[in-house]
Amino acid sequence: MPSALILGGYGLIGSACCRALASAGFQITGLGRSERAAHSSGLNQDWIIRDLCKITVDEWRDILKNFDVVVNAAGALQDGPDDNLDEIHAALPRHLCAALSDRTRLIQISAAGVALDASTEFFRSKARGDEHISQSGHDWVILRPTLVLAPDAYGGTGLLRGAAALPGILPRIFRKSMIQTVHIDDLASSVVAAAEGEIATGAILDVTSGDAHSLPDLTRAIRRWQGFPAARIEIPVPGPILRLTGRLADLSGRLGWRSPMRSTALMALKDGVRGDAKPARAAGLPEPRSLAATLASLPSTRQERLYARLYFALPLAIVALSIFWIFSGLVALATPAQAAEVLMTSALPRAAVWAVVLAGAAADILLGVAILWRRWCRIAALGMIALSSTYLLGGALFTPELWADPLGPMIKVVPGMLLALIVWLGVEDR
């Protein structure tokens, strides 16, 4: 039985490659840095848990000697705390080529439109990696998909689904940008064809449907597929608003969030996502489905519509919780006497009251900041629930009269706890 190693095997494209190659009779091993993501992927296969960018050439030689095919489906959109585009897209292929033996075929999943002089580092770094592979002298095939549509939504496709599902309105951006798409299964089938030797070595092929659509038309098509009525209003989004959005999303990237609204993604959409389908047809690959056929073959269920409706609600909930907790702590620090006055009538000693006020204010600010940091978001949400529960319990024990306050300061804590619970449930790794 031939064996295949899939780099980035639990990602959107990597997991589809794993399933398709397994169905074709390959023995599959996935490689990625997150054990949790690997085990939650639902793939029943072997895993190597390593940081791809920290594996040396000698270690790659030891790993690759057991495989007939290597599929590089690892990638990132933009530099961030956990991602370095040059390491992932350029250095990794260079190390792979240095370690490959003549018996192993390398299949590189690149991207349509890559070029050394492209407008974004994403495409430039991908182009450098492709160049390393094409000059290596090994057995290789490079596949360059356009926008990949799949039952799962991640990154740009998640953003399109969320934008398409906005109630009553449809944002209109980059009207002249043309987008081509490819069904995830059609891309995976091309990977299988390459793995089985049906594509000649040294081939660089765009994997895409032949039809192209403007970004607004693509969004409308997705909205129809979701089952929502046509938008009552289409709102053109001004360029300055888009640039500000990109900068804010870039800032969130520094906090560990991989927002599909970062400047790289917006620039890629502005440039358009196009590919040339003819070389792949000439190489014998079947033509991928059109956008209409792709959407018809994807399930549009209640879960899809619920996900799309809530797409923007989760980041808004995180920002709202952060503002609320930080502001609450700052107000207590700015007016500590007023905050302490509430507890002065309780049985607590004066020193204890001041300690509670100051410690509570510091904890509020800390949690409000921590929830913005991707790595600490879920822990901070649990901390908010725990601290709110402590406030409620302390209020019941020491200031029970607050429960009868007509402004409801204690009751209003409960919705905040539920919002923190929703954040804890909604934030997860891919």
- Asked whether residue 38 carries a pLDDT value surpassing 70, the answer given is yes
Q: Quickly state the pLDDT bin for 175 (edges 50, 70, 90).
A: confident
Rounded average pLDDT over 44-72: 93
- Asked whether residue 407 carries a pLDDT value surpassing 60, the answer given is no
- Asked whether residue 331 carries a pLDDT value surpassing 70, the answer given is yes
Domain boundary among 274, 294, 311: 311
Share of residues in the chain with pLDDT > 90 (%): 57
> In this predicted model, what pLDDT tens digit does every residue of 341-382 receive, in sequence order?
655 555 556 666 667 778 888 999 999 999 999 999 999 999
* Pair (268, 353) in one structural domain: no
* Pair (289, 367) in one structural domain: no
Domain boundary among 311, 332, 363: 311
Tokens 């529960």, located at residue: 389
Min mean pLDDT across 192-196, 264-268, 384-388 is at 264-268
If one compares 270 and 63, the residue with the highest pLDDT of the two is 63
CA distances from 223 to 7, 168, 295, 396 (A): 33, 11, 11, 49
Whether 170 and 226 have beta carbons less than 8 Å apart is answered as no
* Pair (258, 121) in one structural domain: yes
Q: Quickly state the pLDDT bin for 47 (edges 50, 70, 90).
A: very high
DSSP 3-state assignment of 83?
A: strand
Q: Which domain holds residue 229?
A: 3-311
Rounded average pLDDT over 301-329: 92
pLDDT of residue 274: 92
If one compares 351 and 407, the residue with the highest pLDDT of the two is 351
Write the CB contacts of 276 (distance below 8 Å, at least 6 apart in sequence).
206, 208
- The secondary structure of 152-206 as a DSSP string is S--THHHHHHHHHTSTTEEEE--TT-EEEEEEHHHHHHHHHHHHTT-S-TTEEEE
* Pair (68, 141) in one structural domain: yes
Rounded average pLDDT over 57-75: 94
* Pair (327, 227) in one structural domain: no
pLDDT of residue 359: 82
Q: Which CATH number goes with the domain that contains 205?
A: 3.40.50.720
* Pair (41, 102) in one structural domain: yes
Rounded average pLDDT over 111-120: 90
Give the number of domains in the chain: 2
- Asked whether residue 328 carries a pLDDT value surpassing 70, the answer given is yes
Tokens 């908010």, located at residue: 384
Min mean pLDDT across 140-149, 190-199, 307-316 is at 307-316
pLDDT of residue 344: 55
* Pair (228, 374) in one structural domain: no
Instruction: Give Rg (Cα) of the chain.
Output: 26
* Pair (276, 199) in one structural domain: yes
* Pair (66, 183) in one structural domain: yes
| Mean pLDDT (the chain, rounded) | 88
* Pair (219, 275) in one structural domain: yes
> In this predicted model, what pLDDT tens digit does every residue of 161-174 receive, in sequence order?
988 999 988 898 88
> In this predicted model, what pLDDT tens digit does every residue of 117-156 receive, in sequence order?
988 888 999 999 999 999 998 999 999 999 999 998 777 7
Of 23, 117, 37, 46, the C-alpha closest to 74 is 37
Domain boundary among 311, 329, 363: 311
* Pair (191, 329) in one structural domain: no
Rounded average pLDDT over 56-73: 94
* Pair (366, 223) in one structural domain: no
